[in-house]
Copies of this chain bind each other. A is one copy, B any other.
Amino acid sequence: MILFPVPIGCEDLCRSLPGWNLQQLEGCRHFIVEEIRTARRFLRHAGYRHPLDEDFFYLLNEHTASSWRSGTGTADFESWIARIGDGEDVGVLSEAGLPCVADPGALAVKWAHEHNVEVVPLVGPSSLMLALMASGLDGQNFVFNGYLPVDAAQRAKRIHELERRMRSEHQTQLFIEAPYRNNQLLDALCSLLQSETRLCVACDLTLPSQLIRTLPAGRWKSERSKTDLHKRNTVFLFGE
């Protein structure tokens, strides 16, 4: 089972994928994907030469993942994977970034370990790691918290909790938001964080519009109006 990262956007693939990944794709006829249409688009863009109509795609997304996880939909996956010949490679394609990181692909890898199938992860773009590298915040101890609560009061409570943990455990905090709520989250962070806490916004990573900015939260207040994050893929980080 080979885990293929997929770049965000359509820039030249040599910017974000090793050439080796594209060679490995050529050997795969069976793919576990989150959405078939975007998977086919990536394969064409990557110069994959095998006719896509002869390939096999297994859909693993929120819907199939939950039935698989609850045990009710296992038969479908088991019967599909049983049809794959011994020694044939199965590719797991992410929708964007690394498969299995904030993505349902982890269930396929869990299955592989339970059935003693070798798992091969390939190098590729991770918005979380690009953001962490470029933030100037401490990369010795960090946590990815996924999404914060949507409710404003609960979100404020959570931000305060994470800031306490940042100080008591010297731990850099990473999280993401639904892209249409990014500006509201930045406003909330500006008003809730202590003014000396360093806040990084890392936006459109690997794209020409890439923006990476780290400032003390107190200084973000004046920069806030110049920065529009609406509907842009953004990683938020704060640290000491």
Judge whether B145 and A144 touch: CB under 8 Å.
Answer: no
Count identical subunits in the complex: 2
A107 cross-chain contacts in B, Cβ below 8 A: 136
A143 to B213, CA, bound (A): 23
A115: shortest Cβ distance to chain B, in Å?
A: 11
* From B101, B102, B106, B139, contact of A100 by CB (8 A): B139
A178 within 8 A of B: no
Number of interface residues of A (CB under 8 A): 58
Which chain B residue lies CB-closest to A119? B134
Interface residues of chain A: helix, strand, loop or mixed (majority): mixed
Contact yes or no, A16 B20, CB < 8 A:
yes
Q: Which of A70-78, A82-90, A125-133, A226-234 contacts B (4 or more CB under 8 A)?
A: A125-133
A134–B134 alpha-carbon span in the complex (Å): 25
Q: How far is the CA of A123 from the CA of B137 in the complex (A)?
A: 18
Per the bound structure, the CA–CA distance linking A131 and B113 in Å amounts to 13
User: Could you jot down 7 A-B contacts, CB within 8 Å?
Assistant: A16-B18, A101-B132, A110-B136, A120-B134, A121-B134, A121-B212, A141-B146
